[in-house]
Amino acid sequence: MSKKKNIDLTDLEALPDLLDGRHQVVPIITSGDDIVEQVSLPESLPILSLRSSVLFPGAITPITVGREKSIKLVRDVNAEHGLLGAVLQRETEVEVPAPDDMHKVGTAARIIKILEMPNGNLTVILNGLEKIEVGEYLQSEPYLKATVRTIRDSQPDDGNVEFQALVDSVREVALNIINISPTMPKEAVFALKNIDSPRGLINFVCSNMDFTDDDRQALLEAPGLLARARKLLEILVREQQMAELKNEIQEKVKREIDKQQRDYYLQQQLRTIQDELGDTADAEIEQMREAAKKKNWPKEIGEIFEKELAKVERLNPAVAEYSVQMTYLQLMLELPWNDLTTDNLDLECARRQLDDDHFGLEEVKDRILEHLAVIKLKGDLKSPILCLYGPPGVGKTSLGRSVATALGRKFGRISLGGLHDESEIRGHRRTYIGAMPGRIIQTIKRCGSSNPVIILDEVDKITVSNHGDPSSALLEVLDPEQNTTFHDNYLDAEY
C-alpha cells in the first residue's frame, strides 16, 4: 500500500484526470451531523494494511494499492459486499505485515470505485464508515482477516461550551495553517468554511492536514469526539508554530540569497567599471608583486609576502579582510628592510658637529665620542645603550640629533611620556580591529632606513596599566644581546 492522495471526489467520473498528477485534490467528508452510512458490520472483515495513511469515519479517500495481497483483497471484497477494515501498519518498511505489525484500531470502509492505473497499481476510493477495534486474526493468507468490533465515538451534549470552543479553535487554526503552508491545497479553505457538522469538521481536518502517521493514529484512537478535538487542537497549534517557523526561516534564507545575488551583481558591475577605468584590484596586486621584486629583503620575508599576497588574490575586494591584508602588504613594501646608510665614523668630524650644536657639556660629549670610538674599533653595534638624563631643555634630544648628523644616519624620535600600553611598543595583532604596528616599526618606516639613530624620549614617564608594562617590552629594544632583531606583533616577522 502506498501513500494517500488528496482528491476532490465530487465527480468520480473525472477521477482518471484528477489522478494524473496535474491537480491538487482534497478528501471529502459526508455531509450532515453524523450522517455516516449506517451498516451492519459482519463479525469479521478483510484487513487492508495501510502504509502511510489513516482513514477516518465519514471520509472519502483514494488509496493506492500496489502489493499483490492488497490487490487480491480489494478485488475479492469488491466482488462481494465491498466492506473491509482499513488499518495502519506500525512500520512502513514491512512488505508483508503480520498481525503483530498492525495497529489495533482502524476504520471499516466501503469500496466506492476501483481505478486501474497504467503502472499496474489500483486506486481504490474508500468511504470510511465506523471506527473499529481489531480482535483476533482469523487468517493471513491470501490476505489478513480478523474479527472486528464497532467503536462508537461519544458525542458531547449540544450545550457543551468547551467542545464548541474547541471546534471553533480547530477551524480557525486549520485555516491559518492552510493559508501559510505552501503544500496545503487552497480548495480545503472552502470546504472548512462550509462544514457545519462538528464531527465532520474534526474528521475532515484529521484527514487533510499534513500530520505524521503516529499523530493520525492517535487521533483515530482518541476515546470520543471531545478527546479527539482536544488532541487535534494540540497538534494543530504545534503544526502552526512549525509552519510559521519554516516560513520565517525560508524568508530569511530568501532575503540572504537575494542580498548575495544583489551584492554579486553590483560587484560584477563594479569590476566591469574598474576594468574600463584600468583601476582594478588585480592591477593593484600586480603592482605590489612588481614592487616586491625590487625589494632587498631577506628570503624568509619574501616568502611571507608571497604567501599573504596569494591570500589576498583569493579574497573578494568587498570583504573587510581584503583591506586589512592590503594594508599589511603595503607596510611590508614600505619598510626599508636591508636599506642601510653608510656610517661616517670620523671622530674629529663628530667632535666638530657636537661642538657646533652644543656649548659646554664636555663630559657628555666625551662619553658620546668614547661610545663612537668603541663602535669604530669593534666594527659592530653590540655596545651599551647611551642613557642621557637631566632636566628639560638641557639638550638631551638635540645631542641625539647631532650624533645622527655626525654619523650620516637618519634620526628618529619616540616620545614615551604617558605610554601605558605594551602594544604601543610591540604593535597589535592583525586579528584586532584597527590594528597597527608599534612605534619602533613606525619610526623605522618613517626614517626610511634600517639603521637610524632613535631617541627614546621621556622614558621615565612610562606608566603601568592593565594593558601590560611597556618598560618590559623595551627590554628587547635596549638589550644588546637581543636588539639585533625586533619582533613586532603586527608585522609578525623578525625585523
Mean pLDDT of all residues belonging to the chain? 79
- One-letter identity of residue 397: T
For the cut 50, the answer to whether the pLDDT of residue 6 exceeds it is no
For the cut 50, the answer to whether the pLDDT of residue 22 exceeds it is no
Band the pLDDT of 14: cuts 50, 70, 90: very low
For the cut 80, the answer to whether the pLDDT of residue 132 exceeds it is yes
**What pLDDT is stored for residue 106 in this prediction?**
92
**What pLDDT is stored for residue 86 in this prediction?**
92
CB atoms within 10 A of CB 355: 14
pTM: 0.48
Sequence-ordered list of residues with C-beta below 8 angstroms from that of 368, at least 6 positions apart, any chain: 350, 354, 386, 399, 403
**What pLDDT is stored for residue 23 in this prediction?**
40
Q: Tens of pLDDT along 69-124?
A: 899 899 998 888 889 999 999 888 888 888 888 999 999 999 998 898 888 888 89
- What DSSP character marks residue 132? E
**What pLDDT is stored for residue 46 in this prediction?**
92
**What pLDDT is stored for residue 274 in this prediction?**
60
Band the pLDDT of 277: cuts 50, 70, 90: low
Domains and CATH numbers, the chain: 1-152 (2.30.130.40), 153-279 (1.20.58.1480), 281-334 (no CATH), 347-494 (3.40.50.300)
Picking from 427, 434, 407, 426, the residue whose alpha carbon sits closest to that of residue 471 is 426
Give strand pairing partners of 127: 60, 110
**What pLDDT is stored for residue 59 in this prediction?**
85
**What pLDDT is stored for residue 281 in this prediction?**
63
The owner of cell 606608566 is 463
For the cut 60, the answer to whether the pLDDT of residue 131 exceeds it is yes
Contact 5, 98 (CB under 8 A): no
Sequence-ordered list of residues with C-beta below 8 angstroms from that of 157, at least 6 positions apart, any chain: none
Which 3 state secondary structure label does DSSP give 321?
helix
**What pLDDT is stored for residue 108 in this prediction?**
92
**What pLDDT is stored for residue 2 in this prediction?**
41
**What pLDDT is stored for residue 381 in this prediction?**
59
What's the Cα-to-Cα distance from 392 to each of 134, 357, 359, 385, 398, rounded to whole Å?
106, 17, 16, 20, 12
- Helix, strand, coil content of the chain in percent (nearest 5): 45, 15, 40
Q: What percent of the chain has pLDDT over 90?
A: 6
More confident call, 344 vs 380: 344
Q: Tens of pLDDT along 196-209?
A: 888 888 888 888 88
Structural element, H or E, at residue 458: none
Bridge-based pairing of strands 105-116 and 493-494 is unpaired
Band the pLDDT of 258: cuts 50, 70, 90: confident
For the cut 50, the answer to whether the pLDDT of residue 15 exceeds it is no
